[in-house]
Chain A
Amino acid sequence: MATVTDYLDPKDLSRLANHQVLARRVVEGFCSGLHRSPHKGFSVEFKQHRAYTPGDEIRRLDWKVFAKTDRFFVREYEEETNLRCHLLLDASGSMAYGSEDENGLSKLAYGSRLAACLAYLCLRQTDSVGLTTFDTKVRSLVPPRGGASHTRQIIDLLGTTQAGEDTDLGKVFHEIAPQLKKRGLVVIVSDCFGDIPSILKGLAHFNHAKHDVVIFQIWHRDELDFPFRSWTRFDCLEDAGVKHTVDPMHLREAYLENLKEYREELVKGCHKHRVQLFPMTTDEPYAEGLASFLAARGKAGMPIHL
């Protein structure tokens, strides 16, 4: 059974303490708060006190509490909308790459930690988080829910997730999209290997449902640089029957060209479907990457509140 510290390193979390996962688009929540809510209303029913974070409206401060404790707290009401964050973690075979590295993380492990971090962050700001793992189809699912104890469930699922075989992102996206009833943030952690038009069609489905979609594309450094020199047999991680024995020196240039083309196509497609694509490599600390992603997202003029 996975422990929380396997996925959430206090050091990493401290880096992310000041970040909030913000929905860039209007998402449907059932409480008003950080996120813009499509529903207009009054905040009447007190729900809880929450620690003040810069950016909160001053008028929401609970001065009484401040007088008592000398600390800023914000009053939150039931009416405030909260964020529904759907984490989609790709557990296909290709995500297993890198597990044989010394000290390195496989892409899946890296993605799991990333997902755990995101879940933690969301839960910390009282948003609800759900996790779906998939390869060719949905493997397991934790429905979106709030509360600190929910972290446990998510991490349990991450702990049991193993890399599977094939991927078919487009098909999986089509399968998942109708299940997300309310608009929310869809975070896809995947290497996005597969047929690009099919993937884009899946993304379009999310887009159509007005979800705010973010893709963390996980790369391994080898896949970007193709640093192999000696004679090598490449065994396909997704299809055990596919093996290629080649001299990688010969192929490098063509491979890199192929890679560039593929990435460009994906970026173009994502742009078209208003999907934010954030590539990460497993050799850079995920907390740092995530921090910079969140900071950029904050700066991009995203309103913090509705």
Chain B
Amino acid sequence: MSFLNGALVLGALAVFAPLIIHLFNRSRFKIIKWGATHLLESVLRKNRRQIQLEQWIILIIRCAIPILLALALARMVVMNWNSFLFFLILPLSALLFLIFVAFSRTTRWLWGTLSFACLLVTMLGALGFLPEWGKENKITSASGDVPSSTVILLDDSLSMNSTNGFSSAQDFLEDFLDRMKKQSETTIIQLGGTPIQVFDKPTSDSNALGIRIENLDAQGDKISLLAALDQALTIVSQGKNLKREIILLSDFRKTDWQEWDSSAMNSFRSRLDELQNKPELTWIDFGKETTKNLSVENIVLSSQTVGIGHPLRIRATLRNLSNENFEGNLRVRLLVDHNDSVMDEATLSLGPQATNQVSFTHQFETVGPKVLHVEIVVADDLPHDNRRSVAVNVIDQIGVLLVDGDPSEEWLRGDTDFLKLALTPFQENIDRNSKGSSVKGEMKDLIEATVITIEQFKQFNQMQKIRLIVLANIEKLEDSMSQKLKIFLDNGGGLFVCGGNRVDISWYNQNLGSSGSGFLPMPIDSLKGDLNNELSHSKITNSFFEHPALAMFNDPRNGSLSEAHIKKWFKMNESITRNDPKVTVLARLHNGDAILTEKKVGKGVVMFLGTTIDTDWTNLPARPSYLPFVQQLATYLSEKVLPPQTVNAGLPLAYYLSEEEAQLEYELTTPKGVNQKLIPRKRKDRFLLEFTETRLPGIYELTQSEKKLSKFVVLASTEESILDKADENQIVESSSALSERVNRIDGTGGKSWETYITMDNRRTFGRETWKILVAVVIGLISMEIILLRKFGGIVR
């Protein structure tokens, strides 16, 4: 005898309710001084014992009802006839015989004896003085006949695709759902990446589950088995059925069974041991031994954003995870977008368990978001990892106007020469070398930079092509120029103001400061530093850059801004603009002075660099970080900074929006072809779209009313390509650490369901008694009502 809801057995304490009510009533009797005693006494004299008997019967029935109800609610399970006999049948018979005693006149001695005998046997049986009759007659129900609470952990990681593992698992699930009993409840958890339940709650709707399972793909990331088991245990421990089971359908790859946290295992074990009704653990292995697998492990692009006609270099790392040797016969293809037209193809050699790299170059002819795929053309056990994708953004060229306040005939002596070189390296390369060699540059710059003097700027009227204007070491501006810049900024252009020896500080503060046009983020205090005194030099602090334009320097591999010496700089007065939300300090020097500041003007952005952009006051242009620094600033100021578009599964996708764009509606198409509405959010001062459910690897397309805005590639973990089976000892050891008993089924032979059924049929379970108990309770209630009416008939 056991209980499914053990705590509810305490409900049997409700037996005291009728008892207390009875005693309370008896102790709280009314006293009446009665005259007509002679009329009462004759009734009492003849019926006293009968009345007492009837009251006892009613009291027993009333006490029995809460006890039986509590047992029914606690869902009593009996294993054999013994408990059934001693705790239900005999006491109830005793009660029944007692009722017979109350009703019969002539044979009451017989019923009385029988009732007493039943009671005696019950008592003796409960005290253990009697042999346990019926103990050997088990009341069992076959496993197939009892409803179950099952949690199925379905490994839908990419590796399950090898050798049809996933479809075998789906077949098993189909059979399982077919045989599911009406009251059974099943939860299916997809393991790949972060464990996720197919339905939020356990369900008995096998059809709905079946349809969902049929449409599942094994695209998930590496599984985290322990976390999933923990989740499964939580769900199954709340299961409402006696039969509980956790079934793991997986391919038992080495990577999934490595590096388990022993404390997590212990906590699982202790949680399992604490459960009164422990679930069975069943592992079903669908992972066959594999012989051959190759994968594209990594793709590196020369740039995430590329201009039209700009050659993009693609470098892919290929990995051979088998012992097969490819001697110059491994075909690798480069594909673009959905049409899968082969753009380039290469053949190479790849030794057993080796890696090799392949390079492609591609030039895009149209603007827009694109996806590139690198694919190994080979038939292996896991075809899904033979192709890897990466997202590329193809844009038109950005027009940049460099206004030089101190031009020079000599190369690299002018104030904007370093900048132009850094912004348009390929173009410069061609220009410089055109005299010596006639080799035409293959590469095209993303930026098209034009250098003009301040006088030329006055007449410059092709502003519509320009996205960024750089003012380098300009002494002062005429009013017409300020007006021009104001219109330019209001239309969303970017302005980059750099310092220098010609700059008229007082004019800048007066005309560009807050009292003037307001371009300057903060007023200039003074000039600091000394060109010759090295002690007065400073450096840019290498702190964490929150600003997107400098965020790439948070990764040390991209170089460090702190390498450069800043010899002279303008000290800016931050006190005035400290609370202005439009003003941001991007970078500071070691002494705390702001060196790079930003202010939003109209729709555009003004950035002020407190030192020169050439080598006059700093050696930054001679440092490797200069090129990415100005490139990043230029793309940011021309509003082309993009968050990463190729991410690993599970990481969020983001897309920046301007304030107007934030009013529109956006849709994201997932790899499954499901459209999802995205709502723009504001984070700090920036509007963006964010999508976090990137569990499924593949291509996500962001559209706004049919217009393709961006493509994102979500990549599966490369670990899924490692198809080595987990060590048997490792599995046994880990399993035994989790639970005393784990059923292992080898599902690789395609007979997983048959094996499972055979195993399942050997299990037996006790029988639930709640139906019988509820019936008895209802019977007792109606009997009480009948008896209360019948007991009026008293002997006179």
Contacts and interface: CB of A to CB of B under 8 A. Distances in A.
B41 to A, nearest CB: 7
A251 B791 contact: no
Interface stretch (B47-55, B608-616, B618-626): B47-55
Contact of A193 (B29, B30, B36): B36
B32 A235 contact: yes
B785 interface: no
A231 B794 contact: no
Given A231-B25, A251-B794, A254-B43, A246 B35 contact: no
A257 B796 CA distance: 8
Given A231-B26, A254-B43, A255-B43, A193 B33 contact: no
A255 B626 CA distance: 114
B40 interface: yes
Nearest to A97: B35
A237 B33 contact: yes
Interface in B570-621: none
Contacts of A86: none
Given A247-B55, A250-B51, A254-B43, A232 B30 contact: yes
Contacts of B791: 250
Contact of A253 (B35, B38, B44, B794): B794
A23 to B, nearest CB: 31
Contacts of B43: 251, 254-255, 258
B39 interface: yes
A265 interface: no
Given A250-B54, A253-B792, A254-B43, A96 B30 contact: no
Contacts of B26: 231, 245
Interface in B750-796: 791-796
A27 to B, nearest CB: 33
Contact of B35 (A191, A231, A250): A191
Contacts of B30: 228, 230-233
Nearest to A195: B38
Interface residues of B, number: 29
Contacts of B51: 246-247, 250-251
A104 interface: no
Contacts of A230: 25, 28-30
Contacts of A96: 33, 35
Interface in A179-213: 191, 193-194
Nearest to A229: B30
A220 B35 contact: yes
Contacts of A220: 35
B37 interface: yes
Contacts of B35: 93-97, 107, 191, 193, 220, 223, 237-238
Contacts of B32: 228, 232-235
A57 interface: no
B40 A234 contact: yes
Contacts of A262: 39
B127 interface: no
B29 to A, nearest CB: 4
B42 A258 contact: yes
A238 B26 CA distance: 24
Interface string A60-91: 00000000000000000000000000000000
B674 interface: no
B33 A235 contact: yes
A51 interface: no
A94 B36 contact: yes
A254 B29 contact: no
Contacts of A253: 792-794
A236 interface: yes
A198 to B, nearest CB: 12
Contacts of A251: 40, 43-44, 47, 51, 794
B796 A235 contact: no
Interface string A94-107: 11110010000001
A259 interface: yes
B34 interface: yes
Given A231-B28, A244-B44, 18 more contacts: A97-B35, A223-B36, A230-B25, A230-B28, A231-B25, A232-B29, A232-B30, A233-B32, A234-B40, A235-B32, A237-B37, A238-B35, A242-B41, A244-B37, A246-B51, A250-B55, A251-B47, A257-B796
15 contacts: A93-B35, A97-B33, A97-B35, A97-B36, A228-B32, A231-B25, A233-B29, A234-B37, A235-B33, A235-B34, A238-B37, A250-B54, A253-B793, A254-B43, A254-B47
Interface of A: 93-97, 100, 107, 191, 193-194, 220, 223, 228, 230-239, 242, 244-247, 250-251, 253-255, 257-259, 262
